[in-house]
Amino acid sequence: MAKPRKKRSSTLTSPSMQILRDKDSMRAWSRAQKALGRTVGFVPTMGSLHAGHLALVKEAKKRADVVVTSIYVNPTQFGPNEDFTEYPRMLDADAKKLTGVGCHALFAPRDLYARSGPPHETWVDVTDLTQTLCGSARPGHFRGVTTIVTKLFLIVEPDVAIFGDKDYQQRRVIQRMTRDLDIPVEVVGMPIQRDTDGLALSSRNARLLPDDRLMALAIPRAIAWAQDAFAKGERRVKVLKKAVREQIEASGPRVDYIEIVSDATLLPAKGKLTKPAVLAVAAYAGDVRLIDNVELR
Ligand code: PAF
């Protein structure tokens, strides 16, 4: 687990949105909504909200009567050498953005792991879908994600939860987890939202230096090239992967992985593509790790 960082004080208030700072008040709020016959939509985030997150909130509003967004930078999904400390935190600005799109409640817990008494020792593990892509590149990452999302689901008790498909593997893993554990929530994926220059929206983009941002554009360009090549009939996995790698590396980003996986199993596809697949990329522009993907079907 990455080290918790020092808390900053915040004067968090909103005239029209409930702001809940602890799990008991969050659960009570959700239950009160349900007692009034309302369905609860949920958008879990780690904050530093951008238009992609706000699109998730808008989608949740279409699917449920009231919407909760959570902001919690979860230490257990970051490895010891990852960017937990640098992860952007801007709670007041985020609250304003959520108020602007009519989110009904913000759950911004100060902490979600036991601070006193025996240490946290219970984990949720989705075993197979996490063997590849970010699961193998970031050991322990998905165990942290599935554990915190389970905790959030148990606190918020949503009817529907919306996840962005930039984190395609995450959405699939959470859908499998809710099915396997009979957690009564519908998990919905939303298409990747892109900036006008094509870069997939991500909270980490805020950390890109101008030159690194320019070089990062090689990632969506290479992905768009692969999608086009696939549409024109290219089915050879090796050819697609090699060309995507060359295009990205030629512009500067350091590739963490480029993989084409079966959509059904998320295991690497081999030979020629005959079934729906996903091309997924993780690469560093400067010291910022970015991910992106496209379905090949
Ligand atoms: O996608 C994210 O922002 C996080 O992984 C999530 C789902 C909020 C869990 O911490």
Ligand 1 contacts CB of residue 145 (under 6 A):
yes
41 and 163 assigned to the same domain: yes
Q: Is residue 41 part of a domain?
A: yes
Domain edge (last residue) among 155, 190, 225:
190
Domain edge (last residue) among 157, 190, 223:
190
Which of 50, 73, 74, 174 maximizes ligand 1 atoms within 8 Å of its Cβ, making it the mutation to test the pocket? 74
Domain edge (last residue) among 190, 215, 233:
190
Which residue numbers are catalytic?
A: 53
CATH number of the domain at 278, please: 3.30.1300.10
Would the pLDDT of 8 be above 70? no
What are the pLDDT digits (tens) for 267-288? 999 999 999 999 999 999 999 9
What are the pLDDT digits (tens) for 69-127? 999 999 999 999 999 999 999 999 999 999 999 999 999 999 999 989 999 999 999 99
Please tell me the distance from the alpha carbon of residue 57 to that of residue 4, in angstroms, as a whole number: 27
Ligand 1 contacts CB of residue 95 (under 6 A):
no
47 and 165 assigned to the same domain: yes
Q: Is 127 exposed, middle or buried (0-12, 13-18, 19+ CB in 10 A)?
A: exposed
55 and 136 assigned to the same domain: yes
Q: Is residue 178 part of a domain?
A: yes
Question: Taking the CA atoms of the chain, what radius of gyration do you get in angstroms?
Answer: 19
pLDDT of residue 187: 98
Q: Return mean pLDDT, the chain.
A: 95
Average pLDDT over residues 287-291: 97
Q: Is residue 4 part of a domain?
A: no
Alpha carbon of 44 to ligand 1 centroid (Å): 6
Please tell me the distance from the alpha carbon of residue 5 to that of residue 98, in angstroms, as a whole number: 24
Ligand 1 contacts CB of residue 71 (under 6 A):
no
Q: Is residue 96 part of a domain?
A: yes
Alpha carbon of 153 to ligand 1 centroid (Å): 12
Predicted TM-score (pTM) of the model is 0.94
Residue 7 confidence class, pLDDT cut points 50, 70, 90: very low
Q: Is residue 5 part of a domain?
A: no
- Domains in the chain, number: 2
Q: Is residue 284 part of a domain?
A: yes
Ligand 1 contacts CB of residue 44 (under 6 A):
yes
Would the pLDDT of 4 be above 50? no
152 and 287 assigned to the same domain: no
Q: Is residue 162 part of a domain?
A: yes
Place of tokens 């590396």: 249
pLDDT of residue 6: 45
Look up the domain containing 98 and give its range. Answer: 11-190
CATH number of the domain at 86, please: 3.40.50.620
Q: Is residue 269 part of a domain?
A: yes
pLDDT of residue 3: 52
- Strand 186-190 and strand 160-164: pairing? parallel
Would the pLDDT of 24 be above 80? yes
pLDDT of residue 13: 76
Residue 176 confidence class, pLDDT cut points 50, 70, 90: very high
53 and 149 assigned to the same domain: yes
pLDDT of residue 9: 47
Between helices 141-156 and 168-180, what is the axis angle to 10°?
60
96 and 119 assigned to the same domain: yes
Q: Is residue 198 a contact partner of residue 217, using CB atoms and an 8 Å limit?
A: yes
